[in-house]
Homo-oligomer: A and B are copies of this chain.
Amino acid sequence: MAQSSFQEISASDFFYRNRDIAGFTNPSRAIFAAIRELVENSLDAAESLKIPPDIYIRLSTQSKDKKDEQVFKLRVEDNGCGIQPRFIPSAFGQVLYGSKYKLKQMRGTFGLGGKMAVLYGQIMTHKPATIMSSTGQAKIYAFKLMIDIQRNRPIIMDRRVLVNKEKWRGTIVEFYIEGDYLRAMPKILEYFKQTAMVNPYSNLTFVDPKGRLYKFSRVTTEMPDPPKETLPHPYGVDVELFQRLIYVTKEKNLLEFLKNHFHRIGNITAQKFLEFSKLSPTKKPKKLSHEEIVTIVQNMKKFKEFRPPDASCLSPLGQDLLEAGIMKELNPEYIVVNQRKPSTYAGHPFIIEMGMAYGGEIPRKNSFQIYRFANKIPLLYDEASDVSYKVINSINWRRYKVSPDLPIAIVVHICSTKVPYKTVGKEFISDRPEVRREVANSLREISRKIHHFMSKREHVNRERKRISVFAKYLPRIAEFSTNLAEKEKQPDIKKLIASVRKYGEEE
């Protein structure tokens, strides 16, 4: 009978059994996912210290086997902040343990990617992972680790302490993984290319199994400020979160509680909100009843006077960088970019940035080329499920004199303290209504600009046709009239044509 066999499994075991949901679906995606997860951890680690990242990735194989699926050694080195030795084993050997569970713009969000890479490597090769790290102090710590999947705990096979003569700082991860590099290669190279495009202050060096070197060098050492941790915005607070805040707060009255635990609630807003909720500012937060908490949370959604979230905790690309990136990558004839004001979903501020480019080197296909980024990482899989794709395909493009068979590229970047990914593998953005609305508004704004350009272009084309008619027949009329008048010299028709031309001379 079904009831006699209930069991509990660990989080590690859950992801071992369901690795598809973390992006480790097949040998080709697995090798892509392992590389990107480690590279993104490295970018975060360097950015947290405002150091331009230097990341070295090497994928190598000993076997001469020509089979599709081989065992590779993957090594990723960075110059990031390093990890203190007491955190290293769990940071790589325990699922749902990490430094990423914060309201802060980061590439990683699930505290899962690095461990999944190690876990996937282990279940196929049964070899331990090696982690070396130093925070730049006197010592370097080296661990050999495996994961006890059923208990979700790291197993330390070996631990060494080395003298850090050169004050090296960073992390090196090395482990073995079964994968299909040949199939993964195009996506991996595209990943590096797009990553370089939105992280222009990074050096990425990739050595592939054939020994080929791909180098993506930084073009600037200007760094954005490291992301700041932020407080939850009241519009996105649920009862669970509110209770957690009450549990940890040291504030003695509701007024101070609201001011110090929520994003952009000042004295006046707090007072107005408490009035709106018919609660005394001096009430102790820990004395609120369950009913009062539910009412407050519901009122937080209804109250109209909370200020919108502050973008200072977000680090968008900015219109200039976005435009420069698109120009460099796609070299289009015409480009429009747009950055929306910060908005919020479920308490998390986010910003949508968008660019649309036409012509030039953009190829003509049956559909728009869509480039998707989230917190400065490219999203390369499952495009059709992304909210941007859905919005783009629900627009009546004819209104903007645009059709999908034109050479048009659309670049969408969402940055947020918490990107609403639909899968743990960070493949696409889910269809949150607030995000959809912002994407749609942004798209409409750039579409209007592109419409203006397309209309002008259409007008110019129409004019060119009109002029070419004049240019074709006027000389004949001139010739005929000259003959008819029995004159020798034909009248100058250039002036005549110039007088009907609305736009400048064509080249």
> A residues 424-452 with Cβ under 8 Å of B?
424, 428, 430-433
Flag whether A420 is at the interface (Cβ < 8 A): yes
Chain B residues within an 8 Å CB radius of A91: 6
CA distance A497 to B385 in the complex (A): 56
CB distance from A148 to the nearest CB of B (A): 10
Are A125 and B294 within 8 A (Cβ)?
A: yes
Are B96 and A10 in touch, CB under 8 angstroms? Answer: yes
Indicate if the CB atoms of A9 and B48 lie closer than 8 Å: no
Scan A1-44; emit 1 where CB is below 8 A from any B CB, else 0.
11111111111011011101100011101000000000000001
Distance from A134 Cβ to chain B, minimum over Cβ atoms (Å): 11
Of B3, B82, B421, B432, the contact of A99 (CB 8 Å cutoff): B3
A418 nearest CB neighbor, chain B only: B17
Chain A interface mostly helix, strand, loop or mixed? mixed
| CA distance in complex: A49, B2 (Å) | 9
Q: Tell me the minimal C-beta distance from A59 to chain B in angstroms.
A: 20
Stretch of A238-246, A458-466, A487-495 that contacts chain B: A238-246
Interface string of A341-355 (1 = CB under 8 A from B): 000000000000000
- Given A81-B1, A149-B240 in contact, is the A25-B431 Cβ separation under 8 Å? yes
Contact A6 B87 (CB under 8 A): yes
Give Cα A293–Cα B124 distance, bound, in whole angstroms.
11
- List, in ascending order, chain B residues with CB within 8 A of A135's CB: 1, 3
Task: Please report the C-alpha to C-alpha distance between residue A8 and residue B93 in the assembled complex, in whole angstroms.
Answer: 12
**Nearest chain-B residue to A14 (Cβ)?**
B96
Contact with B along A368-397 (1 / 0, CB 8 A): 000000000000001011000100000000
Does residue A272 face the partner (Cβ distance < 8 Å to B)?
Answer: no
Are B239 and A126 in contact, with the CB atoms below 8 A?
A: yes
- Tell me the complex Cα distance, A180–B433, Å: 12
For residue A225, give the distance in angstroms from its CB to the closest CB of chain B: 15
Contact B432 A20 (CB under 8 A): yes
The minimal Cβ–Cβ distance linking A439 to chain B, given in whole angstroms, is 14
A312 contacts partner chain B, Cβ-Cβ < 8 Å: no
Give the size category of A's interface with B. 35 or more
Residues facing B in A141-158 (CB within 8 A) are 149-150
The interface residues of chain B lying within 8 Å CB-to-CB of A25 are 420, 422, 430-432
Give CA–CA (A123, B4) in the complex, Å: 30
Q: Which residues of B contact A82 (CB under 8 A)?
A: 3
How far is it, in angstroms, between the C-alpha of A431 and the C-alpha of B150 when the chains are bound?
26
Contacting pair A244 B45 (CB below 8 A): no
Residue of B nearest to A247 (CB): B150
A84 at the interface (CB under 8 A from B): yes
Q: How many angstroms from the CA of A341 to the CA of B229 in the assembled complex?
A: 54
Question: A48 to B423, Cβ gap below 8 A?
Answer: no
A7: nearest chain-B partner, CB-CB: B101
CA distance A244 to B150 in the complex (A): 9
Determine if A20 and B294 form an interchain contact, defined as CB atoms under 8 angstroms apart: no
A90, A98, A102, A423: residue with the most chain B Cβ atoms closer than 10 Å: A423
Residues in B with CB closer than 8 Å to A8 are 90, 94, 96-97
- Map CB proximity to B onto A94-118 as digits: 1 under 8 Å, 0 otherwise: 1011110110000000110000000
- The residues of B that contact A20 with a CB separation of less than 8 Å are 420-422, 430, 432
| A122 located at the interface, meaning its Cβ lies under 8 Å from any Cβ of chain B in the complex | yes
A290 at the interface (CB under 8 A from B): yes
* CB pair A3 B98 closer than 8 Å: no
- A83, A294, A433 interface centre (most CB from chain B within 10 Å): A433
Which residues does A use to contact B, with CB under 8 Å?
1-11, 13-14, 16-18, 20-21, 25-27, 29, 44-45, 48-49, 81-84, 87, 90-91, 94, 96-99, 101-102, 110-111, 122-126, 135, 149-150, 238-241, 244, 290, 293-294, 297, 382, 384-385, 389, 418, 420-424, 428, 430-433
Known: A2-B99, A6-B91, A26-B432. 12 other contacts (CB 8 A): A5-B102, A6-B98, A11-B96, A13-B96, A17-B418, A20-B430, A25-B420, A27-B433, A29-B431, A123-B238, A126-B293, A150-B244
Shortest Cβ-Cβ A-B pairs, 7 listed: A384-B384, A126-B239, A20-B430, A123-B240, A385-B385, A123-B238, A3-B84
28 A-B residue pairs with Cβ-Cβ distance under 8 Å, sorted by A, are A1-B48, A2-B45, A2-B48, A2-B99, A5-B99, A6-B90, A6-B97, A6-B99, A8-B94, A9-B96, A9-B97, A9-B101, A16-B240, A18-B424, A20-B421, A20-B432, A21-B421, A21-B422, A21-B424, A25-B422, A26-B432, A123-B241, A124-B238, A125-B294, A126-B290, A149-B240, A384-B384, A384-B385
